[in-house]
A and B are shown apart, each in its own frame.
Chain A
Amino acid sequence: MKQIEVKNLSVKYQNAIILNNINFTVDKGDYIAVVGPNGSGKTTLIKTLLALIEKSEGKIEFSTKKIGYLQQKISIADSNFPSNVQEIIRSGLLINKKSKIYSSIDNEKVDSIIEKLGIEDIKYKLIGKLSGGQIQKALLARAIISDPDILILDEPTTALDPNSRDFFYNYIKELNEKENKTIILVSHDIGAVGKFAKKILYLDRVVIFYGTFSEFCHSSDMTKYFGNISQHFFCQRHN
């Protein structure tokens, strides 16, 4: 079932073309890794999908409004913000919520997601006083508390230690495999995404490649782009 359809999408900023004629579709249960060099437009693509950046041309259609988002940590408010983890996670329930008041059921949902992610010890801690890994776990909890159909993650593991990174990728994989959540993950960690994602979207202002990993591994275009050794390494990690 088609969940996202992007047609002839272009984004311009002043006179510069950031994204040019992007076309792709996302099906339910897909796990797509969006990769590409610095400045290739990965974050712009994600923010345009989420309507945080205005598109210049083209169409973006979603079949669901239930979307969870986890952005790069650096864009979040500073360490002095006077809010504890419970309050931050609960704010994830505001997505398309008609009543602006939290109910006791909402609080139970918060407790349940905290337990699921094993972060009971930081429930009442100030968000700004946590380590990078703890903050990302709290923000992941916020992103999934509303039970989204699609989870969009923009470089969620930047600045995480290897243990937190492993936890993260394994948890996302579980969400994809057990709960059939659609995942769109932007990452520089090409080894890790090669291991977990089902499809790859290689972006460099235009879509260079979009397809399954097996197609990617046999693509001579990608060999030209990556070089033989890098492509081989990438494909090895996936197998």
Chain B
Amino acid sequence: MELISLLLRSVQYEFIQKALLSGTFLAISSALLGVFLALQRKSLISDGLSHVSFATAALALLIGLSPLIISLPLVILASILINKLVSHAHIYSDSAIGLVSSLSIAVGVLIVNVGSGFNVDIYSYLFGSILAISPIETALCIAASLITIVLIIIFFNDLFLISYDEDYARISGINVKMLDLTFSTVQSVVIVVGIKIVGAMLISSLIIFPAITSLQIARSFKSMIIFSVSISLLSVIIGIFSSFVFNAPTGATIVLLNGILFLIFFILNKIFKFK
């Protein structure tokens, strides 16, 4: 009873409302992206890009600019660089991600070392602080998520075919290169706006976990999308409330819930053989 009244009271706080609003949109867009990235075996790219966003946020704080302004173009460039390394330099995709990712962390750590005055700020970008999200950041998160959702709805069937059989997608007249570039950009934007919410270290789990969990139970592509979005929403909303009730870091709580949900569905699939 006490818990319910605490939760009802919490909804009246503006910071919880903002967190729920931005978290809901981010949950939907990252889950949708995650489905296609996981099926195209590209989910690690989001991990690499989140590390890049750590370095770019550190750079922005060092030169006194908004991390969003610096991070957005640089993370998009990094996603293009990873794609180019794979397609033109013939470097394996996991190696290309590893190169860019570790280099970014190294650069980020060096910048943090140089600008020792912003350690507290960089901490909020590393591990997120959804409860301290500003109105502009909320608006940007909603806008980026809406663009992602609309693009995925428009290109849903094309993305499905690319994920299953890229050659057939090319023969079908689908512009695979253009869609790849578009969704690399969209992914970069979602990561950049998402790092304030769950943090650079954890944003990729918001993309990867719901897709992998839904893979345990989905019996069609449509059901994978529905499960993935539902799991993501569930973990974000419960995560925000739980972190408020238990005074725990929100990003880590959301990721932990995702981990628990994965474990539950993994075990249920082993027992009941959904597939």
A residues within 8 Å of B by Cβ?
A: 47, 50-52, 65, 67, 69, 71, 75-77, 80-84, 87-88, 91-92, 94-97, 100-102, 124, 126, 129, 142
Contacts and interface: CB of A to CB of B under 8 A. Distances in A.
Interface in B188-229: 214-215, 218-224
14 contacts: A52-B171, A69-B168, A71-B168, A76-B165, A80-B215, A81-B163, A81-B164, A82-B39, A84-B221, A88-B164, A96-B173, A100-B157, A101-B157, A126-B275
B137 interface: no
B172 A82 contact: no
A94 B161 contact: yes
B155 interface: yes
B171 A83 contact: no
A52 B168 CA distance: 9
B208 to A, nearest CB: 15
A75 B167 contact: yes
A84 B155 CA distance: 19
A82 B158 contact: no
Nearest to A47: B167
A126 B216 CA distance: 13
B174 interface: yes
B interface bracket (residues with beta carbon within 8 Å of A):
20 to 34
B154 interface: yes
Nearest to A127: B164
A126 B273 CA distance: 13
Nearest to B158: A100
Contacts of A95: 171-173
A124 B157 contact: no
Given A81-B39, A82-B218, A126-B275, A94 B158 contact: yes
A100 to B, nearest CB: 5
Closest 7 CB pairs of A and B: A82-B218, A82-B224, A83-B221, A95-B172, A94-B172, A91-B161, A84-B220
Given A82-B223, A100-B157, A100-B158, A77 B163 contact: yes
A96 B173 CA distance: 6
Contacts of A80: 215
Given A84-B219, A87-B221, A126-B275, A100 B167 contact: no
Contacts of B155: 100
A178 to B, nearest CB: 25
Contacts of A84: 219-221
A82 B220 CA distance: 5
Contacts of B173: 65, 94-96
A87 B169 CA distance: 14
Which of A47, A83, A96 has most B Cβ within 10 Å?
A83
A126 B163 contact: no
Given A47-B167, A126-B220, A142-B168, 16 more contacts: A50-B167, A52-B170, A52-B171, A81-B163, A82-B219, A82-B223, A82-B224, A84-B221, A91-B160, A91-B164, A95-B172, A95-B173, A100-B156, A100-B157, A100-B158, A101-B157
Nearest to A70: B168
A97 B173 CA distance: 8
A199 B222 CA distance: 43
A126 B165 contact: no
B209 to A, nearest CB: 16
B220 A124 contact: yes
A69 B224 CA distance: 27
B247 to A, nearest CB: 38
Given A69-B171, A71-B167, A100-B154, A87 B218 contact: no
A132 B87 CA distance: 31
A52 B167 contact: yes
A94 to B, nearest CB: 5
A148 to B, nearest CB: 10
Contact of A91 (B39, B157, B167, B224): B157
A96 B219 contact: no
A190 B215 CA distance: 41
B221 A94 contact: no
B54 to A, nearest CB: 31
A4 B154 CA distance: 34
A77 B157 contact: no
Contacts of B275: 126, 129
A71 B161 CA distance: 15
Contacts of A102: 157
A101 B172 CA distance: 15
Contacts of A50: 167, 170-171
Nearest to B40: A77
A142 B164 CA distance: 13
Contact of A77 (B165, B220, B222): B165
